[in-house]
């Protein structure tokens, strides 16, 4: 085998040691890339602040932040997991957003999917579970529908609880109505649906249909059960009683032991939605005031601190731009926790007379982060 003479090897090594490193060596490339990234980040941040200043958009966060218009929803990071699902419920027939009839769910920035309503004639309320199943509730026979010109006789009207498989097939259909009583779905887990009855909040076992009381209406100080300004996580209930104005009460356990009172300040006349964080330590609240523009406030329950606050997106029915609210339409806002410091919301309109989604520019989703 040929070999390189020792003196040649030593000469080459000496020249190499005296030579400056090539500017493209890996360590130097990485250092220069980091410097370039820092410069670009600084330029981008300055440009973003300039754009926001021109547009008048303020991203709020912290107790000192005042209400302003929320920015449109940002592109969703693939690594982030939605902690809760976001449905456009609350209307009599809350779909017809894309010419389809069903229940609409926001699944990404500006993106929705329509779930077929099965098991009953409509879904007034739906709870989506992490495994893809849905627990829904709605009336059957209490209204005129396509193919039936009038409601059914009172003794044939039902209020059905429906559980669907992830593929949409109904797994359970059960009439939970009792003669002479109102009933509505608050929330659900994989095994239990929590229902409001005149007696208070009850836990309905999905497997057996048996029910047990969770907290009585008397303990809550309610003459009648609330329609929707409430939420439950574990044994923690967040509730806005109609006569209390803009105050969210946090109550723990079957005795409804008071844990906190959270007043919404500013332009607020009524609270329309409440959503507890999955760990029960924070609560997001949708409220409306004299301006009829829905606002969103996020509280930390432990000390009552306001973590974020802003006004929601207001839709022009023709263009989708920010605008005032036409009297003929009602604007609804639904919210969900999509991260530990991230509430995703959707603003949508319904016709006040029919309860159906407005045909033009039916929704806009937005983010509240802090």
Q: Mean pLDDT per 10-residue run, the chain (370 residues)?
A: 51 46 44 48 37 30 44 54 81 43 80 85 89 93 81 91 94 94 94 95 97 92 75 95 87 93 92 95 92 88 95 58 49 90 85 45 78
Residue ranges of domains in the chain, CATH in brackets:
58-369 (2.120.10)
Which string of b and e fits 253-271 if b means at least 16 CB within 10 Å? Answer: eeebeebbebebeebbeeb
pLDDT at 211: 98
Nearest CA to 271 out of 250, 305, 296, 251 is that of 296
* Cα separations in angstroms, 296 against 205, 229, 288, 335: 33, 13, 9, 9
The pLDDT of residue 28: 47
What is the reported pLDDT for 261? 97
pLDDT of residue 225: 75
**CB proximity list for 356: less than 8 A, separation 6 or greater:** 91, 92, 93, 96, 350
For position 19, what pLDDT does the model report? 44
């Amino acid at each position: 085998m040929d070999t390189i003479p020792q003196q040649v090897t030593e000469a080459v090594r000496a020249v190499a040691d005296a030579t400056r490193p090539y500017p493209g060596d890996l360590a130097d490339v990485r250092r220069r890339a980091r410097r370039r990234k820092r410069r670009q980040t600084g330029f981008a941040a300055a440009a973003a602040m300039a754009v926001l200043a021109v547009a008048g958009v303020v991203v709020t966060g912290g107790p000192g932040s005042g209400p302003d218009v929320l920015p449109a929803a940002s592109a969703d990071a693939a690594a982030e997991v939605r902690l809760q699902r976001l449905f456009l419920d609350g209307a009599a027939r809350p779909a017809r957003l894309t010419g389809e009839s069903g229940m609409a769910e926001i699944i990404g920035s500006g993106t929705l999917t329509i779930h077929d309503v099965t098991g009953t004639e409509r879904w007034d309320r739906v709870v989506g579970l992490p495994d893809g199943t849905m627990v829904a509730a709605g009336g059957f026979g209490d209204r005129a529908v396509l193919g039936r010109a009038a409601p059914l006789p009172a003794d044939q009207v039902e209020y059905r609880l429906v559980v669907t498989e992830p593929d949409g097939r109904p797994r359970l259909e059960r009439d939970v109505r009792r003669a002479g009583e109102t009933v509505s779905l608050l929330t659900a887990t994989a095994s239990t649906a929590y229902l409001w009855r005149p007696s208070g909040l009850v836990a309905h076992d999905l497997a057996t249909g048996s029910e047990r009381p969770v907290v009585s209406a008397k303990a809550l100080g309610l003459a009648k059960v609330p329609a929707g300004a409430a939420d439950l996580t574990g044994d923690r209930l967040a509730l806005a009683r109609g006569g209390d104005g803009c105050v969210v009460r946090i109550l723990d356990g079957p005795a409804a032991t008071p844990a906190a009172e959270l007043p919404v300040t500013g332009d607020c006349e009524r609270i329309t939605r409440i959503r507890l964080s999955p760990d029960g330590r924070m609560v997001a609240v949708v409220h409306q005031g004299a301006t009829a523009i829905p606002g969103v406030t996020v509280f930390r329950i432990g000390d009552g601190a306001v973590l974020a606050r802003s006004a929601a997106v207001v839709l022009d029915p023709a263009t989708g731009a920010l605008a005032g609210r036409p009297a003929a339409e009602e604007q609804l806002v639904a919210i969900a926790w999509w991260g530990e410091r991230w509430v995703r919301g959707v603003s949508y309109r319904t016709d006040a007379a029919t309860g159906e989604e407005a045909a033009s520019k039916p929704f806009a989703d937005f983010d509240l982060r802090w």
